[in-house]
């Protein structure tokens, strides 16, 4: 019941929100509550984080010329590599951004520091700031970015697609009885996990699983091995953010040697390509699916196998 009420609230807030997005002749309200004056169709866009670059790419599609500046390591989709770099996302090169004469600069509170954002605003650039700390905020961010690009309809479509997708996942979660304990490992040496204040924690909660470190106030705590053992996770997910999986394999091996863990006993040790799980784009739905299969998939597959075996009478 809670889920249905949530999604209702969601659609209501979307509806309430839309007037603001269309109100003044091209005044857009960003997620910090600021009203920003923009041109109808921005053609010189700078994205100050890889996630934003991906989002913009989704909107503009083939018309990538509209994106004139991205940060380092904006590599998804791969064609972004051709776009001019404005430096790393935590130390933007303001001269570079300025020289590109953007008519829209997209920034995010999840990646750019407040001081950087303030500086961008102070030198007179049209900055729209989004916030993507929760699923609700991601939906709003999608609409905000869409509106900023002059693609309000596309933005709303994307947001509702997103909301529907998340809704479906929530429904599935409700239909399940089990709530496995999951360890979300994001760092190898030292061991770093996703705690209660991280976004990963929310994704796992949506799936109906329980993050063993949900009680931590920090986003990325560093527990001791003993602590992990005492919490006895049933599933261990090792997230990788790059192409190099060697350290992750080492971790995998390490866990598999610890026979006391429930996850090891059940064989629930998985490496997850972490990119799709943290980007605030539609790809997140794929990522959620990936996580779902990793956490629950085994059980269902085994069930299927068992029923097939039973059926074939072996």
Question: Which residue pairs, CB below 8 angstroms and at least 24 apart, start in 221-226?
Answer: 221/192, 221/193, 221/195, 222/187, 222/190, 222/191, 222/192, 222/193, 223/191, 223/193, 224/191, 225/191
Chain positions 245 to 304 lying near other proteins, rule: CB under 8 A, are none
Residue 223 CB, nearest approach to other proteins (Å): 17
Residue 29 CB, nearest approach to other proteins (Å): 22
Nearer to other proteins, 71 or 281 (CB): 71
Nearer to other proteins, 93 or 161 (CB): 93
Nearer to other proteins, 153 or 217 (CB): 217
Residue 93 CB, nearest approach to other proteins (Å): 5
Nearer to other proteins, 100 or 245 (CB): 100
Q: Where are the alpha helices (DSSP H) in 195-297?
A: 199-206, 225-231, 246-256, 262-266, 275-278, 283-292
Q: List, in sequence order, every residue forming a beta bridge with 273; answer none if it has no partner.
A: 240
Q: What is the CA radius of gyration of the chain?
A: 21
Residue 70 CB, nearest approach to other proteins (Å): 12
Chain positions 87 to 146 lying near other proteins, rule: CB under 8 A, are 87-88, 90-91, 93-96, 98-99, 109-116, 119, 122-124
Residue 94 CB, nearest approach to other proteins (Å): 6
Angstrom distances, CA of residue 103 to CA of 47, 52, 117, 152, 236: 11, 16, 16, 17, 45
Structure tokens that stand for 182 in this block: 């999951």
Residue 197 CB, nearest approach to other proteins (Å): 8
Neighbours of 284 (CB within 10 A): 22
Question: x-or-dash pattern for other proteins, window 204-243, by CB under 8 A?
Answer: ---------------xx-----------------------
- As a whole number of Å, the end-to-end CA separation of the chain is 42
Closest CA to 195 of 228, 229, 162: 228
Residue 90 CB, nearest approach to other proteins (Å): 4
Look at residue 253 and give its three-state secondary structure: helix
Is 86 a residue that touches other proteins (CB under 8 A)?
A: yes
Nearer to other proteins, 219 or 297 (CB): 219
Structure tokens that stand for 236 in this block: 């261990």
Nearer to other proteins, 49 or 261 (CB): 49
Q: By the criterion CB under 8 A, which residues form the site for other proteins?
A: 85-88, 90-91, 93-96, 98-99, 109-116, 119, 122-124, 219-220
């Amino acid at each position: 019941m809670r889920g249905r009420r949530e999604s209702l609230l969601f659609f209501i807030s979307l509806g309430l929100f839309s007037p603001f997005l269309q109100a003044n002749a091209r005044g857009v309200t960003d997620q910090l509550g600021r009203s920003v004056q923009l041109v109808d169709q921005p053609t010189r866009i700078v994205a100050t984080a890889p996630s934003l670059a991906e989002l913009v790419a989704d909107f503009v599609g083939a018309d990538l010329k509209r994106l004139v500046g991205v940060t380092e390591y904006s590599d998804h989709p791969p064609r972004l590599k051709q776009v001019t770099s404005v430096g790393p996302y935590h130390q933007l090169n303001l001269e570079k951004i300025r020289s590109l004469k953007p008519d829209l600069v997209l920034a995010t509170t999840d990646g750019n520091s407040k001081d950087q954002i303030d500086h961008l605003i102070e030198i007179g650039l049209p900055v729209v700031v989004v916030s993507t700390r929760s699923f609700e905020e991601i939906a709003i961010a999608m609409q905000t970015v869409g509106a900023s690009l002059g693609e309000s309809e596309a933005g709303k479509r994307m947001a509702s697609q997103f909301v529907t997708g998340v809704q479906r996942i929530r429904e599935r979660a409700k239909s399940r009885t089990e709530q496995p304990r999951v360890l979300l490992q994001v760092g190898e040496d030292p061991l770093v996990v996703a705690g209660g204040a991280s976004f990963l924690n929310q994704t796992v909660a949506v799936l109906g699983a329980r993050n063993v470190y949900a009680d931590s106030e920090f986003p990325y705590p560093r527990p001791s091995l003993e602590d992990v053992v005492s919490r006895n996770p049933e599933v261990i997910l090792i997230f990788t953010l790059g192409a190099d999986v060697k350290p992750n394999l080492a971790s995998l091996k390490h866990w598999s040697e610890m026979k006391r863990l429930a996850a090891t006993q059940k064989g629930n040790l998985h490496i997850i390509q972490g990119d799709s799980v943290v980007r605030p784009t539609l790809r997140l739905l794929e990522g959620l699916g990936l996580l779902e299969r990793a956490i629950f998939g085994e059980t269902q597959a085994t069930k299927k196998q068992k029923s097939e075996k039973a059926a074939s009478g072996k």
